[in-house]
A and B are shown apart, each in its own frame.
Chain A
Amino acid sequence: MPALNGLEQEEVTAAPDSNFQRFCAAHGILSVEDFLLHDVYALVALAEREVNSEELKQGINQVLAFIDTQHKPWLNGLELLEDARQNKHLLPTGCQGLDLLLKGGLLEGQLTELVGASSCGKTQICLLAASNVTYKHMSSVVYLDTCNSFSPKRVAYFIGVLNPTLKQVRCGILERIMANILCKSVFNIFELFDTLDQLQTKLRDQARSSDHKVRLLVIDSISSVIAPILGGNMAYGRSLMISAGFLLKRIAYEHNLSVLVILVSSAYKELINKCIGGCLDENVAACVVTNHMVGGNVGSLKPALGESWKGVAHTRLLLSRVNRTNKCSISVLKHPSMARGNSVDFLIPEENF
Chain B
Amino acid sequence: MEVSGLPLSASQRAKLASAGYTTLSSLSSISSQHLARDLNVSNEEALQILNVVMRTGRFSDLAGASIVAGAQSAWDMLLEEEHNKHITTSCGDLDKILGGGISCKEVTEIGGIPGIGKTQLGIQLAINVQIPFDYGGLGGKAIYIDTEGSFMAERVFQVAEGCIEDMLKLNVSQLKDLETLKEKMHPNTFLANIFYFRACSYTEQIAVINHLEKFVSEHKDVRIVVIDSVTFHFRQDFEDMALRTRLLSGMASKLMKLAKQFSLAVVILNQVTMKFIDGSFQLTLALGDSWSHACTNRVILYWNGNERHAYIDKSPSLRSQSAPYAVTSKGIRDVVSNCKRIRMM
In the complex, which of the residues A33, A152, A232 contacts B243, with contact meaning CB atoms closer than 8 Å?
A232
Min CB distance, A304 to chain B, in Å? 7
Given the interface pairs A182-B73, A183-B74, the reply to whether A152 lies near B293 with Cβ below 8 Å is no
Chain B positions within 8 Å of A194 at CB level: 1, 5, 56-58
- CB-CB under 8 A from B68, the residues of chain A are 142, 182, 184, 195, 198-199, 202
Q: Is the CB of A146 within 8 A of B253?
A: yes
B48-89 contact mask (Cβ, 8 Å, vs A): 1 or 0: 000000001110000100111111111111100100000000
Mark contacts of B1-23 with chain A using CB atoms, 8 A cut-off: 1 yes-contact digit, 0 otherwise: 11011110010000000011111
Q: Indicate if the CB atoms of B75 and A179 lie closer than 8 Å.
A: yes
Determine which of A2, A140, A147, A153 lies in contact with B81 in the assembled complex, contact meaning CB atoms within 8 Å: A153
Closest A residue to B75 by beta carbon equals: A178
In A149-190, which residues have CB < 8 Å from any B CB? 149-156, 174-175, 178-185, 187-190
Whether A224 and B289, one on each chain, are in contact in the complex, defined by CB atoms closer than 8 angstroms, is no
Whether the Cβ atoms of A155 and B74 lie closer than 8 Å is: yes
- The majority secondary structure among interface residues of chain A is mixed
The number of chain A residues with a CB under 8 A from chain B is 83
User: Which residues from chain A contact B249 at a C-beta distance below 8 Å?
Assistant: 224, 227-228
B256-288 CB contacts (< 8 Å) to partner A: 256-257, 259-260, 275-277, 288
Which residue of chain A lies nearest to B68 when distances are taken between CB atoms in the complex? A184
Residue in contact with B106 in the complex, picked from A148, A299, A351, CB distance below 8 Å: A148
Q: Is the CB of A183 within 8 A of B320?
A: no
Q: Do B293 and A223 touch (CB < 8 A)?
A: yes
**Interface assignment of A197: CB less than 8 Å from any CB of chain B:** yes
Question: Could you tell me which residues of chain A, from 75 to 128, have a CB within 8 Å of some CB in chain B?
Answer: 117-119, 123-124, 127
Q: Which of B139-147, B197-205, B311-319, B337-345 contacts A (4 or more CB under 8 A)?
A: B311-319
- B106, B250, B296: most-surrounded residue (chain A CB, <10 A): B296
Q: How far is the CB of A183 from chain B (nearest CB, A)?
A: 6
Secondary structure class of chain B's binding surface, majority of residues: mixed
| A190-B253 contact in complex given A31-B22, A119-B298, A178-B78, C-beta closer than 8 Å | no
Is B316 a contact of A225 with CB atoms below 8 Å? no
Interface residues of A (CB under 8 A from B): 1-4, 6, 9, 30-31, 33-34, 117-119, 123-124, 127, 130, 140, 142-143, 146-156, 174-175, 178-185, 187-190, 193-195, 197-199, 201-203, 206, 214, 221, 223-225, 227-232, 236, 239-240, 243, 292-295, 298-299, 301, 304, 324, 326, 350-352
Report the 3 A-B pairs with minimum CB-CB distance, sorted nearest first.
A30-B20, A119-B314, A193-B5
- 11 A-B pairs within 8 Å (CB atoms) are namely A2-B23, A31-B26, A119-B314, A148-B260, A183-B73, A227-B246, A227-B249, A230-B246, A304-B290, A324-B320, A352-B319
Known: A6-B26, A178-B74. 9 other contacts (CB 8 A): A148-B107, A153-B78, A153-B81, A154-B316, A185-B257, A187-B254, A188-B7, A231-B245, A240-B5
